[in-house]
Amino acid sequence: MDARSVFEILIREHADMLMAFIRSTVRDGVLADDIFQETLLTAWRRLSSYDKSRPFGPWLRGIAGNTILAASRQHKKVVSVCDEELIQLLDARCELLARRADGDTLDEKLNALRDCVQSLPDAYREVIEQRMHGDEESSPAQADRLGLNLDTWKKRLQRARARLIECLHRKLSIAEAAE
């Protein structure tokens, strides 16, 4: 097995988490794709600096973080955040999910979040699911479709997100305590 094959296996294993990390900060899909590709290319070029005794995911996200910071200087309005501390906070959350949630793939690990969504009250789950399915639709249109005032729709969405964050952190901290 040559280096490329091993590298490709590792990349495929971490690709979804890497993309989630990038899309946490980059709202523009095309730019997110560019950063994803640039990260992989940089990782391949810098393979000699990778310490094989350490996990691959954080190293890859470190490269992605630097790429995002560089991109944010050029595309201020399509990168949500351009701050090292925030990048580190996001990386810590990805690592927590990677290490603590059950499952081998990100999709399996996301079952923890799926459970949280299912446990939401109907009104909150409805607004979350509608929001995630209808990304192209404007907020007023989505609120209207649910028969809600826009402010109410926003508040409900905000509360649903708060509950999901609390639920997910609780699940991950329980998993951590159980180890």
Tell me which residues in 81-140 interact with another protein (CB under 8 A): 81-83, 85-86, 89-90, 93-94, 97, 106-107, 110, 113-114, 117, 128-129, 131-133, 135, 139
Instruction: Rule CB under 8 A: say whether 66 interacts with another protein.
Output: no
CA distance 117 to 125: 6
Q: Environment class of residue 116 by beta-carbon count within 10 Å: exposed (0-12), middle (13-18) or buried (19+)?
A: buried
With contact defined as beta carbons under 8 Å apart, do 58 and 95 qualify? yes
Q: Indicate the residue among 45 and 55 with the shorter CB distance to another protein.
A: 45
Task: Please report how close the Cβ of residue 76 comes to another protein at its closest, in angstroms.
Answer: 7
The separation between CA 12 and the C-alpha centre of its own chain, rounded to angstroms, equals 16
Q: How far apart are CA 176 and CA 163, in angstroms?
A: 20
The one among 19, 56, 62, 126 contacting another protein by CB under 8 A: 19
Residues 163, 67: Cα–Cα separation, whole Å: 32
Least separation, in Å, of the C-beta of 158 and another protein? 5
| Residue 162 tokens, joined | 């708060």
In angstroms, what is the minimal distance from the CB of 116 to another protein?
A: 10
Do 82 and 90 meet the contact criterion of CB atoms below 8 Å apart? no
**Please, which of residues 36-65 interact with another protein by CB under 8 A?**
36-37, 40-41, 44-50, 52
Counting residues that bind another protein (by CB under 8 A) gives 86
String marking each residue 151-170 x if it binds another protein according to CB under 8 A: xx-xxxxx--xx-xx--xxx
87/22 Cα distance (integer angstroms): 10
CB of 166 vs another protein, minimal distance in Å: 8
**Taking the complex as a whole, how short is the minimal distance between the CB of residue 34 and another protein, in angstroms?**
10
